Amino acid sequence: MEYILETNKLRKEYPEFVLDNIDWKVPKGYVMGLIGPNGAGKTTTIKLIMNLIASDGGQVRVFGLDNIQNEIHIKNKIGYVGEEQYFYDHQSARWTGEFVSHFYDQWDKERYQSLLEQFDLPPKKRIKKFSKGMKVKLSLAIALSHDPEIIMLDEPTSGLDPIIRREVIDFLKDFTEENNKTVVLSSHITDDISRIADYITYMIDGRIVMTDSKDALLSNWKKIHFTPESLDKSIIDKLEQVETHMFGSSGLTRHFPAIQHALEPGLASGDIKVESVGLDDILIALVKGE
């Protein structure tokens, strides 16, 4: 597999937080979701990749190039939407497009105009009169109008209402499918990531705790509902978050294919039930397991 972005022992220290030796690889042409609770280090990681903050160790390679030595070249090929949207907000979207077009090697004016239309963004209106959702869309229009190879989105839907959030995520889904772009999407809203990601990375307390394809994650992680006598103790001991309630017990496994065979008698008799879990269930299990 070809990797378009790699970090090697990336480190950043703050007085109350340490991003600790991040080794991370993003495969080319896929959507990588970066999930973690607030303060996990998602934004710090993305800012380090974008060279918006200085690292305290380690290396970032984008397109095989060092991100500090080749900052301008790399930024030319990355469409970035940050957590906060910064613009000259006394200017219009049209002016902003014209302004930023000077800095990119490839700026597709027609695509920018068409994205403004698609997002219902008035080109002549001052940006300070834009809502938060409109500013996110404007950021996205800028990020996509210079034909980036990677689209880096740091909590883009944070603070948006569900309708705009869905609109943005659906647009991104269609766009990435049509254009075969690599996308890094960080969010604590697992539903957003679940909708478009091919790969998922979980980050907790400044560390990457798991990276896998979404399909593998969702097929490996299952919730098992069982009666105590229906399941071998050795399997119960391997379950996480085991809870006992009046109808029986339940627990999470992260190795479902490995225990699937042992569950078959219980499944046939109805004493065991297997439930699919969501990315947020996995996140909660990982956070509690830390």
Partner 1 sequence: MKKFSLWYLLYPGFLVAFGIPMFNYDRLTGPDPLDLSFATYLAPMIWLVLGAMWAHEQMESKSNGYNFLRILPIEPALIVKAKFVLVLIAVAIYAGGCCAAFALVSTSPDYLIPSCAYVIVHGSICLATAALLYVGIFRYGFSRFGKYILIAWVALLISPIPIRIFILKPRGISDAEIMQFFRGPYWIMGTAFCLAAYYFLMKLAARKLKEKYT
Question: What is the closest distance, in whole angstroms, from the C-beta atom of residue 173 to partner 1 in the complex?
Answer: 23
84 is a site residue for partner 1 (CB under 8 A):
yes
Residue from 9, 103, 114, 125 that binds partner 1 (CB under 8 A)?
Answer: 103
Query: Nearest distance from residue 41's CB to partner 1, in Å?
Result: 17
Residue 44 sits in the site that holds partner 1 (CB under 8 A): no
Nearer to partner 1, 14 or 88 (CB): 88
Under 8 Å between Cβ of 227 and 267: no
Residue closer to partner 1, measured from CB, 76 or 213: 76
The piece of 11-19, 36-44, 86-94, 172-180 that touches partner 1 (CB under 8 A) is 86-94
| 122, containing H or E segment | none
Structure tokens at 160: 């948006």
Q: How far is the CB of 52 from partner 1 (least distance, A)?
A: 6
Binder to partner 1 among 100, 242, 267, 274 (CB under 8 A)? 100
Are the beta carbons of 152 and 62 closer than 8 angstroms?
A: no
Distance, in Å, from the CA atom of 100 to the CA atom of 95, rounded to the nearest integer, reads 9
Q: Is 157 in the site for partner 1 (CB under 8 A)?
A: no
Distance of alpha carbon 277 from alpha carbon 283, whole angstroms = 10
Separation of alpha carbons 198 and 171, rounded Å: 16
CA angle 75, 152, 169 (to 5 degrees): 145
Q: Report the nearest approach of partner 1 to the CB of residue 103 (Å).
A: 5
Among 9, 14, 53, 177, binds partner 1 (CB under 8 A): 53
Spatial separation of the C-alpha atoms in residues 143 and 78, rounded to whole Å: 7
Q: For residues 163, 167, 168 and 172, what is the CA-based torsion angle, rounded to 10 degrees?
A: 150
Range in contact with partner 1 (rule: CB under 8 A) among 8-16, 77-85, 249-257, 282-290: 77-85
Q: What are phi and psi of 196, to 5 degrees?
A: -125, -15
Chain residues that interact with partner 1, rule: CB under 8 A = 50-54, 71-73, 75-76, 80, 82, 84, 86-90, 100, 103-105
